[in-house]
Structure 1
Amino acid sequence: MSGMANTSDTSTTETAAQATRSTEEPARNANRSTTPGSEGFKRFIGSNWAERDESLPAAREQAPYAAERRARVSAAFTGIRLIIPAGDMKQRANDTEYPFRAHSAFAHLTGWGADSEPGAVLVFEPSDDGHDTTVYFRERAGRDSEEFYANPAIGEFWIGARPSLAHVAADLAIDTRGIEEFDRVIDAVDTSTLVLREADPAITERVDHARIRFAAEAALSTNASDAPFSIEVGAEHEPDGELARVLSELRLVKDKFEIAELRAAIDATQRGFTEVIEELPRITSEVRGERVIEGVFATRARLDGNDVGYGSIAAAGPHATILHWTRNDGPVVPGDLVLLDAGVERDSYYTADITRTFPVNGTFSEVQRQVYDAVLEAADAAFAVVRPGAIFREVHAAAMEVIAKKTAEWGFLPVSAEESLRPENQFHRRYMVHGTSHHLGLDVHDCAQARREMYLDGELQPGMVFTIEPGLYFQPDDLTVPVEFRGIGVRIEDDILVTPDGAENLSAGIPRTADEVEAWVRGDAAR
């Protein structure tokens, strides 16, 4: 499929990253190519195929929710063209690539998740009624073309059949066009056009060049070129940041579909955690038992969803004191604790984010339970302040009061808990340097580009979903704590929904108290 010619002196003759994808990969391995090229073979492989089922699906469940989100974006950017790419495949090594995941903003506004097409682009084109929205993507190739059998990047023989424009239009309830027509969008770019910069660097570069070209032509047409005209190519376009902010803040409050997906992700995560517990005999028998934990959970994530929502943390013993331990290559030893931080990502991309800490042998030691109960008290204190109208940072503050109190009681701080809580001190944070909460949704750290006054200093609203995850981490070589505390790491993380009259712990069904956790590990049906 050839792209339309672009009149821009900065464009290529083919269409954006899709053209690159279709040509680069075969070239990487041209020296070992064995694809037949005879005319006889081409005629033979292009003939005698059964008719495809061309029946169109009903619109998917999330389609009306995505349409409402697009309407809100349209209202925020009246008269402005918006370009929101899904992104493209990312190279892992030579001709192998990482599994594709569309940009979360694209998925949020289209409802297209794990089955989305690499290189797709959502365009808001200004119209009398606000915007016309269209998804551009590379549809499947005909069987009379060489692409469907000879191109390992996008050919049907290699990656399976791609959908048609009509199929996606019906499925998402949105207009669709072939990616070759996206050149016309680039040709129409003006200085007001906005692009989601981080989603697809190749498309962002094309938009930047097109804006420069438009501004230069406008300057010439108004005789305003007496002074040299220049715009730095690739410079951060400030209004683009406004687009990213709006798209991020749009996700702060979840709709009914999103909440249902998060509940399903949490249910699947609970199954994954339970299966890890059931595999403890095997886990403890392996030299790299943490890898078994990771693998068991990943299997459940792939069975019940798209994948894990982030790199699972399967941290046993002193590894539990390392906040983002994802190497997961250590042993799992009876007498130690395991900190498992993992979440299933649904096909819609909504992910759970849950942490449980449990004793490998089914019984907390006295010190382990002491630490565990302190973290649980901090989690419960944070949950108690969640209600509409509360300020997001108050959740963290409530947890920190408990962390300061406990570490002061144990004699670990050089001052009292009250003194440590002062902004100029914060000594207790040595044992918990991370925050207590973050928003959750399509991204495990959702809404990250929202303004501070909407996030950290924002008021909680019904429909918000976020984590509460206090912890205590005593490094193996930390001389400020007694030796029996060293190497103990505990975190308890739950996913919280703000309701009209308070809050709901969506993950409360996963054992939380020390007694419940011990019974869980021991397989006690009476827990």
Structure 2
Amino acid sequence: MRPRWRPGRQYRALNIQPDEYARRRRQLMRMAGEDAVLLIAAAPERVRNADANWPYRQDSDMHYLAGFPEPESVLALLPGRKHGEVVLFCRERDPEHERWHGESIGTERAVDVYGMDDAFPIDDIDDILPGMIEGRGRVYCHFGREPEFDARLLGWMRRLRQLRGGGVVPKEFVALGHLLHDLRLYKSRAELKLMRASAAMAAEAHLAAMQMALPGRYEYEVEAELLRSMRSRGAVAAFPPIVAAGANACVMHYTANRAMLREGDLLLIDAGAELDCYASDISRSFPVGGRYSREQRMLYELVLEAQSAAIDEVRPGRPFDAAHQMAVRVIAEGLCALGLLEGDADEAIVSGAYKRFYPAKTGHWLGLDVHDVGDYRVAGEPRLLEPGMVVTVEPGIYIPPSDTGVAERWRGIGIRIEDDVAVVKDGNEVLTSAVPKDAGEIEALLAAR
């Protein structure tokens, strides 16, 4: 029986607790050393047009270290500081601002609720932070990400030099991602619970979309059902959903979602939910009319075989790219057997001929970002998988309608099957298994609409 999530159901129990955020900060400060300062800025609010902003979403690194949801905030980690190592600069409570925009957290609750050692109004950061930085040897930050923050950081350095007697300015600026993003790669038990919940919500959305994706409807109607399902369960879309009918599925990042669904089409849906900033990512390809054609089913079964073999490679000690190499092998062999590629699989792999129909990679890290942070290679070699890592596995075959080098019956078929897979001690856990992918099961599900 597939999991069902209702508004508010178990959600509060899934939140990351303050002691976990504190543990993350301590671990990061130990890695940086006592002569360092680490600065993490909130994501800025972004204007959509005129005076309308895009929905606010916190910077993933700020969320990972503080769980603090508001813009106009800066987290300063100051290892060894006697008056508290964790300092947050944030908006002060302001009744006039809150009248228009809702209640703010403020400095007092930043300490009492979010576990900061100290908190100051963001308007005072230019006067306070330079003195905290003085005497430290290194500044860890995301220099180059947000021009406004970069300019402010340089301003703090200038102010530090202007201190009476001449302040001691840090000698190094170090990329924060080198340390922080390696920590984010390993998900805790609490994070995995959130990712399972996110996956369950995305699974419900896919199942709801399958039920109403009938001939004569439009891609945007299916998209609306995906979004309705996610929002009704307390989640948002992790990215703009791909709802691609027929030949549109051959466009890797299709997002127009305007075409009509027609009898005989496959519909490729790539959509994920985001819950408390943690993402899921699922793709399924199914027949609008309820049954796969002969050619659609042959290609679908090939992609499913490739995915199954690739998922088997997601286990501790295996290289990250082992899943991709396995998927490429299975797909190349299948395309050669079907006559869509000439020669044998070895030739197709060495020459790259398989990329004509499979130009993508087979997966990516997943977590706070859909394409999550973390190095894929270490010392020039593919990274070995370890428990706590989460990846997607998403092989596909895409035969453009313009490819006259294949028989017409194959053209315009695009298929992707994607699941989220956590590496666990004894193998892997498929977080998104609630959405059927066996061709017979999918046809049975569609027949019951």
TM-score of the alignment, normalized to the shorter chain, above 0.5 = yes
For 1:295, the equivalent position in structure 2 comes to: 224
Q: Match for 1:193 among 97, 115, 139?
A: 139
For 2:154, the equivalent position in structure 1 comes to: 208
Structure 2 Cα separation of the partners of residues 254 and 296 of structure 1 = 30
% identity of equivalent residues: 32
Q: Match for 2:27 among 62, 72, 84?
A: 72
> Which amino acid is 1:117 matched to?
E
Shift of 1:370: 0.4
Structure 2 Cα separation of the partners of residues 407 and 130 of structure 1 = 65
For 1:432, the equivalent position in structure 2 comes to: 358
For 1:477, the equivalent position in structure 2 comes to: 402
Structure 2 Cα separation of the partners of residues 98 and 522 of structure 1 = 40
Q: Does 1:491 align with 2:416?
A: yes
Q: Does 1:264 align with 2:197?
A: yes
Q: Match for 1:170 among 112, 119, 123?
A: 112
Structure 2 Cα separation of the partners of residues 198 and 120 of structure 1 = 18
Structure 2 Cα separation of the partners of residues 61 and 506 of structure 1 = 19
Note the alpha carbon deviations across 1:221-277, whole angstroms, 9 max, x for none. Answer: 99xxxxxxxxxxxxxx98432x12221111111001110000000110111111112
* SS of equivalent to 2:174: helix
Q: Match for 2:373 among 447, 458, 461?
A: 447
Whether the aligned pair in 2 keeps the contact of 1:266 and 1:352 (CA below 8 Å) is yes
For 1:354, the equivalent position in structure 2 comes to: 282
Whether the aligned pair in 1 keeps the contact of 2:160 and 2:167 (CA below 8 Å) is no
Whether the aligned pair in 1 keeps the contact of 2:131 and 2:160 (CA below 8 Å) is no
For 1:125, the equivalent position in structure 2 comes to: 78
Count of residues paired in the alignment: 431
Structure 2 Cα separation of the partners of residues 221 and 121 of structure 1 = 22
Given the superposition, is the C-alpha separation of residues 59 and 461 from structure 1 closer, same or farther in structure 2, using an over 3 Å criterion?
Answer: closer
Q: Match for 2:53 among 97, 116, 119?
A: 97
Structure 1 Cα separation of the partners of residues 378 and 241 of structure 2 = 31
> Which amino acid is 2:421 matched to?
I
Structure 2 Cα separation of the partners of residues 59 and 128 of structure 1 = 32
Structure 2 Cα separation of the partners of residues 217 and 161 of structure 1 = 37
For 2:184, the equivalent position in structure 1 comes to: 251
Shift of 1:487: 0.4
Structure 2 Cα separation of the partners of residues 268 and 132 of structure 1 = 38
For 2:9, the equivalent position in structure 1 comes to: none
Shift of 1:211: 3.2
For 2:91, the equivalent position in structure 1 comes to: 138
Whether the aligned pair in 2 keeps the contact of 1:74 and 1:131 (CA below 8 Å) is no
> Which amino acid is 2:142 matched to?
L
Shift of 1:208: 2.5
Whether the aligned pair in 2 keeps the contact of 1:83 and 1:195 (CA below 8 Å) is yes
Note the alpha carbon deviations across 1:406-428, whole angstroms, 9 max, x for none. Answer: 11112222432112222xx1110
For 2:100, the equivalent position in structure 1 comes to: 158
* SS of equivalent to 1:477: coil
Shift of 1:514: 0.5
For 2:216, the equivalent position in structure 1 comes to: 285
Given the superposition, is the C-alpha separation of residues 411 and 215 from structure 1 closer, same or farther in structure 2, using an over 3 Å criterion?
Answer: farther
Structure 1 Cα separation of the partners of residues 371 and 247 of structure 2 = 25
Whether the aligned pair in 1 keeps the contact of 2:245 and 2:261 (CA below 8 Å) is yes
Q: TM-score, normalised by structure 2?
A: 0.89
* SS of equivalent to 1:139: coil
Structure 1 Cα separation of the partners of residues 213 and 253 of structure 2 = 22
Structure 2 Cα separation of the partners of residues 81 and 96 of structure 1 = 35
Shift of 1:168: 3.2
> Which amino acid is 1:178 matched to?
P
Q: Does 1:332 align with 2:332?
A: no
Structure 2 Cα separation of the partners of residues 336 and 74 of structure 1 = 54
For 2:246, the equivalent position in structure 1 comes to: 317
Whether the aligned pair in 2 keeps the contact of 1:290 and 1:331 (CA below 8 Å) is yes
* SS of equivalent to 1:327: coil
Structure 1 Cα separation of the partners of residues 221 and 261 of structure 2 = 10
Larger strand fraction of residues? 2
Q: Which stretch of the first structure deviates more once superposed, 186-195 or 401-410?
A: 186-195
Shift of 1:218: 12
* SS of equivalent to 1:173: coil
* SS of equivalent to 2:309: helix
> Alpha carbon RMSD of aligned pairs, Å?
2.7
Structure 1 Cα separation of the partners of residues 204 and 114 of structure 2 = 30
For 1:180, the equivalent position in structure 2 comes to: 123
Q: Does 1:409 align with 2:343?
A: no
Which protein has the larger Cα radius of gyration, Structure 1 or Structure 2?
A: 1
> Which amino acid is 1:177 matched to?
F
Given the superposition, is the C-alpha separation of residues 434 and 218 from structure 1 closer, same or farther in structure 2, using an over 3 Å criterion?
Answer: farther
> Which amino acid is 1:66 matched to?
Y
For 1:510, the equivalent position in structure 2 comes to: 435
